[in-house]
Every structure is written in structure tokens, then in C-alpha cells.
Structure 1
Amino acid sequence: MPLSLALATTAAVAQTGAPPAAHVPVPVEAIGARIVARYPHDRTAFTQGLVWQDGSLFESTGQPGVSDVRRVRLSDGKVLARTKLPGLQFGEGLAVDGAQLVSITWQDGIAHRWDRKTLKSVGRARYSGEGWGLASDGRSLILSDGTPTLRFMDPKTFKEQRRVTITANGRPVHNLNELEMIDGKLWGNIWHRDYIVRIDPATGEVDALVDLAPLRAELGPLDPEAVLNGIAWDATGKRLFVTGKWWPTLFEIALEPVPQG
């Protein structure tokens, strides 16, 4: 099956009628991936958010009672610092906001602020609904919640500024999970799918898909919930990292065209 049609034929995408006649859906480009390097990853980390900043990886993890935010050394996967979330909060996405990190929670409606150097709590905010993925475009924090809606939140108040509907081939896309901004486009995992998608944040339209099933296959048998999740972009070094929940490996990948014919 051509990758350009994959989103329209999986359970992650629901068809709710034809798109408006005046609008022509953006074609979904198939992009390939080549493994550049492999790095150790804490296989006890239920990865929910991943970012690269200050020469280190920062990661947010989930599961009640063990959720945390952490700074990780790339070369050997060593956790250099970590702070647990309070109580039984279930950690979700993570984004950089200036000198701070912001992490969200699944069903607690709490966004935490952390000092980027010390990982000490420096504040929190409330929001409605669930929290899944989080990314920053420099003006807003972009939040996914499992529905086809992306919410753009004010970084200071966490109040909603606007929203867009995520679509592929004119159909709404559900279960968008971890998020990352790369050169003006929003990239995201889709829960329980072995691919990542590229989204135009202005329109919500998916315009590319990258099949990462070979990475998952390389790892062999894993827990059913050990799914692909986690995208980090090193803007200085132009490096792209991906991993998954409870994965023993973090991959650096390079994107490349899919051969035609």
C-alpha cells in the first residue's frame, strides 16, 4: 500500500464525510528514514515527551507514581537529573519555553513549569481536557489531546489562543501524541502507529508521513504498550532523534525521499 494512502486506511484516521468541495486536500508525501546512529535508552522510561536543548536530551515520562522530567546524556542514556511529578499524576508531553521546560499531564489538567538547569518546579497552570503531546512554535505552546484538535495555548497563562483540526486527505486524524516543531512544521507520533506525520500548523493538514516500522521491528518482542513515541530535533546539529515507550534504544535518523516505481 502506498504510504500516501496509509493514514486514510488505518484506525488512527476516521472518515466523517467528504471534504468541502471548495477545498482540495493536500497530498500526503511519503518520506523514508535511514538510521544514522543508535544510543542506549532507559527501558523503564515510559516516554511521553522528548526535546533536545543545551546539548542534552530532556524527557518526560508517564505512569502513576513514577512520572518524571529528566535530563539525559545522549551518549550512554544516563539520567543526569530528574524530578518526579507530585502524587499519582500521569506525565505527558514536554516543550521548551525560554529558560524553562513545560510538561503536561494526562487527565489531571495541570501544566508544570521547570527550571531548565535545575529541574526545580517554578510554577504550574490549569487547562481543561486531556493532555497528550506538547510543542512550542516560539509564540504558542501547541497541545494535542487525542482528538483531531490541536490547541494553541498562551505560554504565560496557558489560556487557549486558537485551535485547528488535524486532517489527512481531508479526513480528521485522531490520537496525535508526542509533538515536535522542526523548521516551521509540526511533527507528531500517532498512538499505536509505527509512523510519524508532518503537519502544517496553520491549517492542521498532514502533508507527509514517515514509516518507522523497521525501527520497531529491530527491537524484537516488546510489551504491546511499548509504542513509538518521542521526537527530538537538534536544530544546531540538524539531528533528528526518535524513540518509544519502554524502548531500549534511541535512534538518530535521517529523512530521505522514497524511491519511486
Structure 2
Amino acid sequence: MLLLTVLACRNNEVHATGSAPVYGFEVVHSWPHDPRAFTQGLVYRDGKLYEGTGINGQSSLRQVELETGAVLRRHNLEQQYFGEGITLLGGRLYQLTWRSRVGFIYDAATFQQVGRFDYSTEGWGLTTDGTSLILSDGTATLRFLDPRTFAVQRTVTVTDEGREVPRLNELEYIRGEIYANVWTTDRIARIDPATGRVTGWIDLTGLLAPEERTGREDVLNGIAYDAAQDRLLVTGKHWPKLFQIRAVPR
């Protein structure tokens, strides 16, 4: 088991996060990840890992073997769709698209498409609290959607010490908080879903070694939570590895 502790954060990053606590990380384990995958969404449920990928002509929904990174099942989106975030609720997988303002619904057991839905913004990240679908659109706003009608139930604006936090991307609901990648950064925001207030940051600077980067927008993006084993899983676009990490105080 690989154990690597990173506790330091760049001074400018710590300043940018206001007074919310900043955590470093420990790498508990790592596994292979398809470096061709432009990761947009990541979900782990009942021993199964699901991934949504982007880029027109390359967008897909996948079931992936955690230990090897092998793609066990794959559904390719049509050329015109740029795949985005995914989540799983009630045996159905939901997948956003970027600018098409349409999402797709699949039977999680078969990957057969069973429906679609519309929304009024760009689609970036998607998660669920078990009741609502929670959508990010690249701004500081999170939208809570009714999973039956897809009507907006409410919105929250994510702030850190009163300042809006834009570019919210991939989302995961973990133990009553929303974890969000902030696009093009190495930081994950922990968000109170009731107020939108950032309760903490996880700084993952240095998680992927420079020599393992491709330079093709290979930024941090992908958060999954294994509730049964209390494992936090993260990866990035075109990353050759997927990591289990543990947040640690600085």
C-alpha cells in the first residue's frame, strides 16, 4: 500500500480560500486509469465504478473495473453530444451534456437508455443527495432538481467568506456535504448544501506526478465515494491513475 502525505499548500491558494480550513492529503492506494478518458463524472456504488467522459465523438458512459482500469461496459454518446457529469439514483444513471442542455437516463444494470431530460443551463457536474439531483453549470450556482420532473426545486450560491466560488465542476455528495472540483485547479471544495458555504478545501497539489501528465487539459476532475468502505476516490482528465485519498489537517 502506497502512503504519501502532502501537507503544504501554496501561499496564494491558502489566501484565496479565506478562513475555511485547508486540508492536505494522504494517498492510501492507486489503481490504473484509462489515460484516454476525458473524465467528467465518477460514481462508486455497491462495488461498481461508473465513469462519464467528454469530447465530441469520444463521450461515453462506462462501467470500469477499479483494480485494473478495464472498461467492462460502455455506451457511446452520439457525435453531437459532449458528455459531462453523471450520478446514480434509484437504479438509474443520469448523464449531462455540456451545451446541448439535454441529459440522458440509463438503466444502471443494462446501460439501456430509458429517458432524457432538459435543463436551462450548461451541464457540468451532477450528484444526488438521495432525494434531488444536484447540478453545476460552471458558475457558483448549484441547482437542485426534482428527479421525476427535472424542475428546479431550489438553488444555492457557493461562497467562501462571502465571495462567490465559480467554475464548480464535478460533484459528489459525501456524508451530508457536497464535494466539488473547481475547474483548472487542484482544489476540492466541501460545501454545505443548505447554505452554499464552503466548509473546507482539500488541496491536491502534487497528487499526480508531473512526468505522468500529458498536457492535454489533464486537470483534476472526478470524485467518487465508496460509502460501504468509507473510501474517497479521485482522478483527472487523461490521468493514468485513480487514487484513494484521505484528507488530513495541515
Contact 2:84 2:123 in 1 (8 A): yes
Partner of 1:41: 33
Partner of 1:236: 228
Q: 2:157 aligns with which of 136, 150, 165?
A: 165
Instruction: Say whether 1:180 aligns with 2:172.
Output: yes
Contact 2:52 2:60 in 1 (8 A): yes
Contact 2:145 2:153 in 1 (8 A): yes
**C-alpha separation between the residues in 2 aligned to 1:242 and 1:6?**
23
Contact 2:29 2:244 in 1 (8 A): yes
Instruction: Say whether 1:54 aligns with 2:54.
Output: no
Contact 2:216 2:238 in 1 (8 A): no
Question: RMSD value over aligned CA atoms?
Answer: 1.3
CA deviations 1:196-227 (Å, max 9, x no partner) are 11000101111111110111335544214111
Q: Spell out the pairing of 1:1-261 with structure 2 (5 A cutoff).
A: 1=11, 4-7=14-17, 27-217=19-209, 219-258=211-250
**C-alpha separation between the residues in 2 aligned to 1:165 and 1:173?**
8
1:166/1:219 CA distance change after superposition, 3 Å: farther
Match of 1:45, SS? Answer: coil
Percent of aligned pairs with the same amino acid: 50
**C-alpha separation between the residues in 2 aligned to 1:256 and 1:221?**
25
Match of 1:216, SS? Answer: coil
Q: TM-score, normalised by structure 2?
A: 0.93
Contact 2:43 2:88 in 1 (8 A): yes
**C-alpha separation between the residues in 2 aligned to 1:191 and 1:163?**
20
Contact 2:213 2:239 in 1 (8 A): no
Q: TM-score, normalised by structure 1?
A: 0.89
Residue 210 of structure 1 aligns with an amino acid whose one-letter code is I
**C-alpha separation between the residues in 2 aligned to 1:45 and 1:205?**
32
Match of 1:213, SS? Answer: coil
1:87/1:221 CA distance change after superposition, 3 Å: closer
Q: CA deviation at 1:41?
A: 0.2
Question: Structure 1: which 5+ runs fail to align?
Answer: 9-26
1:221/1:138 CA distance change after superposition, 3 Å: closer
Match of 1:5, SS? Answer: helix
**C-alpha separation between the residues in 2 aligned to 1:179 and 1:221?**
23
Q: CA deviation at 1:3?
A: 5.4
Residue 87 of structure 1 aligns with an amino acid whose one-letter code is Q
CA deviations 1:108-165 (Å, max 9, x no partner) are 1111111111111010011111000001001111100011111111111111111010
**C-alpha separation between the residues in 1 aligned to 2:53 and 2:110?**
17
